[in-house]
Structure 1
Amino acid sequence: MTKTESRPVKLPPEKAATAHRALQRVRHYLDTHRERAQITVTVEDSDETEPLILPREVVELLAGTLAHLGAGRGVSIVPSDAELTTQQAADMLNVSRPYLIGLLKAGEIDYHQVGTHRRIAASSVLEYRRRDDKRRRAAADELTQLGQEMGLI
Structure 2
Amino acid sequence: MDPDTELTTQEAANLLNVSRPFLIGLLDQGKIPFHTTGTHRRIRFEGLLTYMRQEEQRQEQVMRELAAEAQKLDLGY
**2:25 paired residue number:** 102
Q: Secondary structure of 2:67's match? A: helix
Rg bigger for which structure?
1
Counterpart in 2 of 1:55? none
Deviation above 6 Å: which 4+ runs of structure 1? Answer: none
Identity %: 47
Q: Distance in 2 between matches of 1:125 and 1:92?
A: 9
Consecutive unaligned residues of structure 2, counting only runs of 5 or more, are: none
1:81 aligns to 2:1 (yes or no) = no
SS of equivalent to 2:41: strand
Q: State TM-score, norm by structure 1.
A: 0.49
Number of residue pairs matched by the alignment: 76
User: What TM-score results when the alignment is normalised by the length of structure 2?
Assistant: 0.96
One-letter amino acid of the counterpart of residue 147, structure 1: A
Which residue identity does 2:72 align to in structure 1?
E
- Correspondence 1:46-61 to 2 at 5 A: none
Query: Deviations 1:28-81 (Å, cap 9, x if unpaired)?
Result: xxxxxxxxxxxxxxxxxxxxxxxxxxxxxxxxxxxxxxxxxxxxxxxxxx2110
Structure 1 gaps, min length 5:
1-77
* Inter-partner Cα distance in structure 1 for 2:18 and 2:47: 15
Q: Which has the higher contact order (CA 8 A, sep 6+)?
A: 2
1:128 alignment partner, one of 25, 47, 51: 51
What amino acid maps onto 1:116 in structure 2? T
Which of 138, 146, 149 is the equivalent residue of 2:61?
138
The answer for the alignment partner of 1:4 in structure 2 is none
Amino acid at match of 2:67: T
Structure 2: how far apart are the matches of 1:98 and 1:143? Answer: 29
